[in-house]
Amino acid sequence: MSRDDLAIDGHPSTSGFRLPKPNFAHLREITEPNGLWEHADHSTPRREHGFCNDDNARALVITAHEETEDLTDLSGIYLRYVLDSRKADGTFRNRRDSTGAWADDAGSDDSQGRAWWGLGAVAAGAQDGWMLESSLEAFETCAVFESPHLRANAYAALGAAEVASSRDCQPALDLLDRTTTSILRATRSAIPWPEARLTYDNARIPESLIAAGDVLGDERRTAVGMRLLDWLVASETKDSHFSFTPVAGRELGDSDPSFDQQPIEAWAMADACHRAFVNTGDCGWHERALRAARWLLGSNDAGAVMYDEESGATYDGLIATGVNLNRGAESTLAGLGVLQVGARLRSTSS
C-alpha cells in the first residue's frame, strides 16, 4: 500500500480525502496550568464547568503517543492533574472547579480506569525524569483498581498493556489479567456483544482484549477481541462509511443512522482497527482504521467535516444537519487521536 493510498499529509486519494497532521493549537488554547478545561462555547473554554480527570487522562494518552511534536510541557500539566487527584488509598478524584479546588471526593469508575490508562501511556512513553518515575511509582499501587464496568476495565487494561509491553512490571501484568478476565466473563453469556445495547466508546472493549492477548500471549483473549471488533465494525458500517452509535445509545442490530454521533467513537474505532491490523497483518483492518479517520473528514451520515484543520479543534458532535459547533476537550482529543492513527498507518505502509 502506497503513501498516496493512505491520503495523508496532502497526498490526494481516489476518494478525495486527505488526512492532515495533528494540529495541537486548540488543545493548547483550552489548557491552563491547572489542567485541561472540559467544555467550550464554540472555541472558548467554559470555565464554570472546570476540569475533569477523564479529559486530562485522555490528554496524557495523546501527548504520550505523539511522535513528531514535543508536547512535554502539556504532558507535565496533565500528569500533575492526574497525580494530584490521587488520594491516600490510591484511588482518584475526578473534578476540579475553575479555581483548581477539588469538587468531588471520588471519581466514577470510568475516570479511575482512564487515570490508569493515562499513567500507563506515560510510563511506556517517557524516557526519563520525573514523569517516568512518578507514573511507574503509581502503577505499583494499581491493585486498588476494581470495577464491574466493562469500559472502566478496558481503559485500565489499555494502560496496563502499555506498561507491561514496555518494561517489567508485575502489578501492571496483574491488572491487565484481572481487568480483561472480567471482560471475558461478560462475553460468555452475551453474544454477539457483552451488553444489551451499544453505548459509548464501544471499540475500547475489543481493543483491550486484543492488547491483552498480545501482551499475555493468550490467543483466546485475542480471538474474542477480534470477534467483538469484527461484529462492531459490521454493525456500525453503512454503505462505505461508519455510522457510529449516537450518544443516546443504540439497540443491537440497529443500523439506521442516528445522531448525536461522538468523535470518541471514531478515535476508539481507529485505535482498535489499527491494533487489529498490527496484530494480524490483514490489510482489511488497515482500511477500516482509515475509514474511521475518514469519518472525521466528512465520510459520515451527514457528510460534515468534523475536524477544523486550521485550529486543530474537533466539533463536539455529528448532528443530522451538520455539526455541533462547540469544540470541547473530549472531542478535540478524539480528533487528534484519529489523526495520530493516520500517522501510524503511514509509518507501517511506507
Mean per-residue pLDDT of the chain: 92
Which residue carries 479543534 as its cell? 313
Cα–Cα dist 319/188, whole Å: 35
Q: Per-residue pLDDT tens for 169-198?
A: 999 999 999 999 999 999 998 889 999 999
Torsion angle, alpha carbons of 189, 190, 191, 196, to 10: 170
Cα–Cα dist 250/258, whole Å: 9
Q: What is the pLDDT of residue 1?
A: 29
Which residue carries 464554540 as its cell? 42
Nearest to 242 by CA among 263, 266, 260, 258: 266
Tell me the mean pLDDT in the region 59-65. Answer: 97
342, 6 Cβ separation under 8 angstroms: yes
Give the pLDDT band of residue 255 (cuts 50, 70, 90).
confident
Q: Per-residue pLDDT tens for 87-124?
A: 999 999 999 999 999 999 999 999 999 999 999 999 99
Residue 9 Ramachandran class (φ > 0 left, ψ -120 to 50 alpha, else beta): left
- For residue 347, give the C-alpha cell: 509509518
3-state secondary structure string, 234-266? HHCEECCEECCCECCCEECCCCCCCCCECHHHH
pTM passes above 0.75: yes
Tell me the mean pLDDT in the region 1-30. Answer: 62
Tell me the mean pLDDT in the region 53-67. Answer: 96
Q: What is the pLDDT of residue 17?
A: 64
Cα–Cα dist 250/307, whole Å: 24
Which H/E stretch holds residue 43?
Answer: none
